[in-house]
């Protein structure tokens, strides 16, 4: 079974530029998560999708961040414009469904550096 | 806000020794999960322990949970170089939101 796929793995941009990250979850997983992980910290949830619906986006900075999961499979996370403080690792995860007992499977992440 | 707090923040031991990491949390939980993250990689789920369980084993891993103290511990026995990684505890907060601690960075020296 293929794992969660993310691209690109690394991205370097200048501040004020836009950037987009792509995630392909494990086949059959209805729930998709985007996390932000700062250096030396644990991941923090940005947004959670159940199929196409964003059911928890309370931690997503909506002035500059947006996300979509149009067909309930792949997802894209966008930042426009990027700021220096956005430098971090962006992790995508998926699970079969939403639930406290559900195991989340993580992708390798996209490491973003904003200069 | 991060729910779990791991202790110690960093741990360095010799190969073959046991490693113990602790996690404390703030609110009532249904379960607590432990994840591992190798450098530059995503997180890998290790084990889930429910609130009505006190101890759980998986291979060389042993997890305990003390809900009265709101704490959990992860023991890795007979450590190997491949165990070098960061270890995170995570609990559910609010509506199915998994909240991670800051992690313990474990280094196994050959």
Chain A, nearest residue to B46 by Cα: A103
CA distance B69 to chain A (A): 21
Percent of chain B with pLDDT over 70: 95
d(C-alpha A35, C-alpha A112), whole Å = 13
pLDDT tens for each residue of A57-70: 989 999 999 999 98
In terms of phi and psi (left: phi > 0; alpha: psi -120 to 50; beta: otherwise), the region of A109 is: left
Residue numbers in B near A104 (CB within 8 A) = 43, 45, 98
Question: Which of B98, B99, B101, B106 is the best mutation test for A, with the most CBs of A within 10 A?
Answer: B98
Torsion angle (degrees, nearest 10) of CA B25, B31, B32, B33: -160
Chain B (9-68) residues lying within 8 Å, Cβ to Cβ, of chain A: 30-31, 33, 35, 40-45, 48
Residue contact A107–B42, C-beta within 8 A:
yes
Residue of A108, A43, A35 whose CA lies nearest to B88: A43
User: pLDDT band at residue B1, thresholds of 50, 70 and 90?
Assistant: very low
pLDDT tens for each residue of A11-59: 999 999 999 999 999 999 999 999 999 999 999 999 999 999 998 898 9
Average pLDDT over residues B30-57: 93
Residue contact A104–B45, C-beta within 8 A:
yes
pLDDT tens for each residue of B44-85: 999 999 999 999 999 999 999 999 999 999 999 999 999 999
d(C-alpha A32, C-alpha A53), whole Å = 10
User: What pLDDT score does A41 carry?
Assistant: 92
d(C-alpha A43, C-alpha B35), whole Å = 11
């Amino acid at each position: 079974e293929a794992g969660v796929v993310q691209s690109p793995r690394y991205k370097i941009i200048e501040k004020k530029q836009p950037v987009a990250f792509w995630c392909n979850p494990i086949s059959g997983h209805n729930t998709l998560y985007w996390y932000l992980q700062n250096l030396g910290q644990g991941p923090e949830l940005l947004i959670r999708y159940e199929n196409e619906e964003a059911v928890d986006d309370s931690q997503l900075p909506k002035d500059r961040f947006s996300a979509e999961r149009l067909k309930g499979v792949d997802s894209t996370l966008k930042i426009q414009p990027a700021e220096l403080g956005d430098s971090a690792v962006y992790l995508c995860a998926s699970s079969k469904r939403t639930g406290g007992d559900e195991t989340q499977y993580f992708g390798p992440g996209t490491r973003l550096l904003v200069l | 806000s991060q729910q779990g707090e791991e202790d110690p923040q960093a741990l360095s031991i010799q190969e073959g020794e046991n490693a113990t990491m602790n996690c404390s949390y703030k609110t009532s939980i249904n379960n607590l999960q432990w994840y591992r993250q190798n450098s530059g990689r995503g997180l890998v789920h290790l084990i889930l322990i429910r609130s009505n369980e006190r101890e759980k084993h998986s291979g060389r891993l042993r997890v305990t949970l003390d809900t009265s103290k709101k704490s959990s511990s992860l023991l890795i026995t007979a450590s190997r170089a491949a165990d070098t990684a960061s270890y995170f505890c995570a609990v559910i907060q609010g509506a199915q939101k998994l909240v991670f601690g800051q992690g313990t960075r474990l280094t196994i020296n050959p």
